Structure 1
């Protein structure tokens, strides 16, 4: 085996130019796989550092995920509280020095000029800081508060602290000295819990240990004494402190697993295409090896050794830039609000090592696939094919390609129409890759068919056009291999971009047509339920509060149970028709009260439920809830897939507040008068509100576009890489044409004709491969077969394809024609 690697290394050194393309493909593939690995590793063991709980070796919380095996993203969206009684139970565990039941309430300090953000805690949690009193004393009775002196208050002042736009008056009995710059207020423990809306519950229990007791040992004792609670030590304490940190980790795991799987398949396809083209260009070499009695096994070993060596070097060099790509992705995800600002990535040796191993194995497999014909063909046939490319495609290749087309059409068109739900949506999205593989297998036939159609359109009337068509027919395998990444790029770019535009446009339409209210009220952090009650007292006014959360629903997907998170809203039905239209297609929303639920059409298809049937779910804080379906509606993209009674949702959120209030029947003056004691409430008209919703929806879509742009960037590099390789290797061909009388401009014109064939075939075939998935996605999400394809966006895809395809052929052609014909023939040898 060592001699084979030595021979492979000599071959690589002698044919550096031929292996540069494979090196580039693996280099960038390794970078992206490393980035995926960093995302996955960060989802498993990274996050934000603990802050308030940094001094507590153990933090006790309730479980933020349902018990049993579930998907990666099955976390409850709201804080799951613990009963207050748990604090005393934890304090009784041997080794516990103190157990501090903590709550955090986002509030505000109201001043004549503005309202300053404030976080309220119970005074017992001050020992976690530790927080020192700069003046005065701790709060002892309701109505007393100790405030951060950085807020500009003094002992004896009377201040207004508002929560949910409702203010309460407090006497400042002490001021604290803090160094974190955050506005902090301390009430009595009982009043802090009362302000949170959960008087008998706490967010978490911070545990201080006796001397000599380790964190792990104390956590084990607590788990043994109190089964069902979750103990966190080390970095995990931050997840107990910040619920969004755990959600961010789950998101990274989900994104890395889906992104990484797709990336591996694309890298395999690109590397296989690149090595396949390199092997085709070495037909003469392999023919001579077969003619001098080289066995198929030896050819396989040589190709595998070459691919392994090139991939090993390229993957090692590409792993370090991959870490940089992951940090760029982190910056983008922070910018779009998916990750907290202080979320740290885990940078360790495992992702680069996995990327190197994956790239080497992928390249070796791709080399075996690409070298199959070169190894198995007979020596006589090999010598013949060294001069002339075989016209016929393999039977297995043809049959597989033709069978994949109806399979892709079924996944893209038939499944969404017959089945519906998220399974059909996933099938539609995945059918794009199936159709691209079919196009790659049938590429030579499709390319010659395109050349034939262009010939009938007049391409062959000139000498250069005739040569371009003749070359396409004679070298269809080579051109098809070179065009495959461009076809893949057009197809995947179209599916990824236009599925986002279809989803966003549908959500925007539903939001714009669904909101009937004259005004929408909102406040930073939410609105207390009592505000809506105040507005309802106005004559002729309809005020419908809306609370938003996420629920977990377990359903069967392809025969297996799966638990997924779905956006949900809580509304009241009194006068609902005046402020909101969800587009009910079955049932009646007037029956939405108590243990009932309404679901979107997509969710109903996914869950397999109809009006009158029951649906089991977990509410935002993990409470199991079973409800009877009373209505099915269309506008799930604009308003959430699950609609529950408002009181049910509010009672199971962290803040116990509404997100907004839809108001009809009142002018702005009347609203301002009614809200005089709630100055934090903002009043927006319907147009302003829906515009803000459109911006929020677009922000969510940007996350998907960010990930897809990374994949598309790799495909663009692959397109340029492989087309340049295919064109630059034709030095001898160009020299022979010039020796028999062709002028340089005629050769360049011939290549422009070939570039036109490649670009037209890639745009047409890529667009056709993208059309069934887009139709299926549109049917699943909107109920219509017409996806939203902005003309300028599609024109951009076409222009990029033209620039990449044309430029990658035109510039290498000029470079290949710089030597004189005689010198070029010697270079080709």
Structure 2
């Protein structure tokens, strides 16, 4: 039976090619994803481990509980000296770091967000910092000098002696570049930038004078990290700091890098999973048609003594061989995809540290297993059907067709499953936190529709009859051929339906969320602009002062966050306080109050969002005990309760009340209102007033809402990539189906040619059949996607009151047009093949 299966595979190479391609695509994306993420993760881990070459023990401040008053205690010079003297220590280095934006010669920011860092140059007894060997120039000394990593300097065209514009917390600083250094720092290797200042300057910029954020101790020759850590523990202040070995830090960072790659890996594997899921339809369809075409052959095997199990095993053996070929070629293609993705990272500016291409044994095993298992499972049902062919069928040349009973059973099961899925989705829309129920209901509904697709094909395809009549006999035959085998049509259309369902649903959700966020920004903000750091790091209070002094500015309010504890004793809970300019806050925001009002936000008065008020049981007029960041106690009076949103929420009070309790005053953002409203001229004026600072972002309401909706946009763009892959697989499915259909109807096509239908008419008939099947899948996909988009929107509306359902008619039409294009492209080869059939040979064939 195995030899029989092998001969069948070799005899039907062309028919199985589409199946191989479909499985190969899915396997290629699985293996490519695993190779890519393993390579990137390994490169970053190797790079990060180099950064710990000079760190045997690290002393770090113990962080306080989230939201608790008081920042983590900084490390001082006294502890640094004590650590340097412990037995087994060769040296101790105090470090301090923070955000530092470097402008290129065109004033643009080099690097992105948190990858643009600054730190201190800490010379040893020889006057050099072993971590940062100088390539050119000298080490920085004094507040006006700094050194820059070689990668950034070369990219921007800077050399020692140049004057460079930088920014740490807002205002632009012009610093002299005294030296260029090399480094193994993982952030720099990944495309970031690193600026070094002398220790005193760095402490003033990033911490407080005399304070360090970390102390790194290097072991003397022969001393182990564990022994050094034990010695360091003895000099640590009680409950103020903790020591960790360099190996532990490297392991933690490696773990963090691996976890950070999990999200990317999951997203890419989801693409591959959908492609394989869509490919299952093609595999099942292919083997179903192969079995149907070999009815006499399989029945003859039964007649000469083959058992049902042997026939099933024969079909599954074919599937195993096909899956093995697809898995091996998919693995090879995936390795190429992984290498290509890594190269692509460099072209889009996301530099990856150097390292080998990593092909883990698990990647090979998973790729081969996925390809073979998916193919064999998809072929199991056709194989089971093949085993049921009675030996008497060998005497009958008519292929077995589905019985009425089997179709009734299928439609009944499909109706029950679809009904249960629809009910679950609808019920979930009226519940809170019902994401799991809705997701499960959506999956059940999708399965139910797939089961019902043969039943739905006849009425939906019948709707196209008036249009097809315009194409004469070719159009009429195309419609009849499309509904002749409903199961085949259903399996072919379902491949496209799945992809379009996902992309339509996400498009509806993304457009609706964007509209809701735009409305929220319009409703909540009266301010024309929001000024913040490009890295979302703290902003210097000098920025707000400079903006408030401009003639065109009518109102300014910085927003400051500070930890606190609400309540007294052990029941006190951590909460962040938001400080604002109480005098101008009402001119810059539009809050909907459910209790009380904004009023005069001065002294101990505060306003609270409804979620926080509900959590604590507060109402307007409540007196709230508070412990500020410096440990001092006070009482806040709730003057109003407002409806919070993504932009404005929490406990809001006047900065005049909050500032005396803050150790270091920094702003998260600054809201600004100008005389003429948001105009290009006003924005340019603000940008110029801030020194055309590359580190500062000046955003209007549209920019603010786009920033909030960025995650949805990113997800949508990823799903468009998913659609492209699903479309490729769907095209293969349609080609496969049409090729099989042409093969089965050779006699019929020969007769049509004999009675006068020319080659152009034959081509038109096959193309129209393909178009109808593709549009059938497109209509189902778009319809289900809109339904799922509406249902998900009902859940989102609970947390986003301004959510409003938006149906992007243009894109929905584009998706249907895409389905039509799939049909046209998929029909090119089968139509050409049908038109070239020799009519006499076709009529004689059996």
Q: State the TM-score bracket (shorter-chain normalisation).
A: 0.7 to 0.9
How do residues 754-773 of structure 1 correspond to structure 2 at under 5 angstroms? 754-773=769-788
- CA spacing shift, 1:677–1:757, aligned 2, 3 Å: closer
Structure 1 pair 518–469 and aligned structure 2 pair: CA distance change class (3 A): closer
Among 804, 814, 827, the residue aligned to 1:796: 814
- The alpha-carbon distance between structure 1 residues 109 and 328, as it changes in their structure 2 partners (threshold 3 A), is closer
Q: How does 1:396-415 map to 2 (within 5 A)?
A: 397-410=410-423, 412-415=425-428
Cα distance in 2 between the residues matched to 1:23 and 1:168: 61
**Which secondary structure state, in structure 2, belongs to the residue aligned with residue 517 of structure 1?**
coil
Match of 1:618 in 2: none
Does structure 2 conserve the Cα–Cα contact (< 8 Å) formed by 1:123 and 1:138?
no
Distance (Å, rounded) in 2 between the aligned partners of 1:633 and 1:449: 49
- Distance verdict in 2 for CA 1:727–1:209, change over 3 Å: same
SS of 2:745's partner is helix
> 1:32 and 2:25 equivalent?
no
Distance in structure 2 (CA, Å) of the matches to 1:373 and 1:222 = 73
Contact 2:140 2:196 (8 Å CA) reproduced: no
Shift of 1:770: 0.7
Counterparts of 2:562 and 2:425 in 1: how far apart (Å)?
31
| Structure 2 Cα separation of the partners of residues 63 and 742 of structure 1 | 90
Alignment partner, residue 9 of structure 1: 6
Greater CA drift, 91-100 or 641-650: 641-650
Q: Does 1:579 align with 2:579?
A: no
Given the alignment, which residue of 317, 339, 348 partners 2:329? 317
2:792 to 774, 777, 782: 777
After superposition, residues 440-589 of structure 1 pair within 5 angstroms as 440-455=450-465, 463-522=473-532, 527-532=539-544, 541-546=554-559, 572=580, 574=582, 575-581=584-590
Please state if 1:282 is matched with 2:291: yes
| Structure 2: distance between partners of 1:289 and 1:632 | 74
Shift in Å, 1:315: 1.3
Equivalent residues of 2:95, 2:214 under 8 A apart: yes
- The answer to whether the 8 A contact 1:297-1:375 is kept is yes
Structure 1 pair 176–482 and aligned structure 2 pair: CA distance change class (3 A):
closer
CA shift, 1:252, in A, is 2.6
Q: Which shows bigger deviation, 328-337 or 100-109?
A: 328-337
Structure 1 residue 544 displacement after superposition: 1.9
Deviation, 1:353, is 3.0
Secondary structure at the aligned position of 1:494 is classed as helix
- Say whether the 8 Å CA contact 2:41–2:257 is kept in structure 1: no
Residues 504, 518 of structure 1: CA spacing in aligned structure 2 closer, same or farther, 3 A cutoff?
Answer: closer
Which of 158, 163, 166 is residue 168 of structure 2 equivalent to? 163
Residue aligned with 2:670, SS: strand
Q: Distance in 2 between matches of 1:437 and 1:715?
A: 17
Q: Which residue of 2 aligns with 1:823?
A: 841
Which moves more between the two structures, 463-472 or 219-228?
Answer: 219-228
Aligned residue number for residue 813 of structure 1 = 831
Residues 232 and 594 of structure 1, relative CA distance in 2, 3 Å threshold: farther
CA distance in 2, matches of 1:720, 1:37: 26
Mapped partners of 1:167, 1:63: distance in 2 = 30
Contact 1:53 1:206 in 2 (8 A): no
Q: Tell me, what secondary structure is at the counterpart of 1:721? A: helix
1:100 to 86, 93, 106: 93
Q: Which moved more, 1:716-725 or 1:41-50?
A: 41-50
Counterparts in 2 of 1:108 and 1:287: CA distance versus 1, 3 Å: closer
Q: Deviations over 1:2-47 (max 9, x none)?
A: xx44332221101112211110011101111113323553576442
| SS of structure 2 residue aligned to 1:281 | helix
Displacement of 1:494 after TM fit? 1.3
- Which residue of structure 2 lines up, in the alignment, with residue 178 of structure 1? 181
C-alpha spacing 1:478/1:135, structure 2 compared with 1 (3 Å):
closer
Distance in 2 of aligned mates of 1:333 and 1:272: 34
Deviation at residue 485 of structure 1 after TM alignment: 0.7
Alpha-carbon spacing, 1:502–1:345, altered in 2? closer, same or farther (3 Å):
farther
- Measure the CA separation in 2 of the matches of 1:104 and 1:493: 43
CA shift at 1:689, angstroms? 2.4
- Corresponding residue for residue 71 of structure 1: none
The separation in 1 between residues aligned to 2:26 and 2:777, in whole angstroms, is 22
Cα 1:101/1:645, change in 2 over 3 Å: farther
Q: 1:114 to 1:442 in 2, by over 3 A?
A: closer
Instruction: Give the secondary structure class of the aligned counterpart of 1:208.
Output: strand
Q: Is the 8 A contact 2:763 2:835 kept in 1?
A: no
1:660 aligns with 2:687: no
Task: Pick which of 795-804 and 407-416 moved more.
Answer: 407-416
TM-score, normalised to structure 2's length? 0.73
How far apart in 1 are the matches of 2:841 and 2:661? 79
- Cα-to-partner distance string for 1:135-173 (whole Å, 9 max, x where unaligned): 89985xx8686657997887xx99998632357899x9x
Q: Distance in 1 between matches of 2:165 and 2:577?
A: 31
In the alignment, the residues of structure 2 paired with residue 524 and residue 464 of structure 1 have an alpha-carbon distance, to the nearest angstrom, of: 61
| Secondary structure of the structure 2 residue equivalent to 1:778 | helix
Specify which of 700, 708, 722 is matched with residue 689 of structure 1: 700
**What number of residue pairs does the alignment pair up?**
763
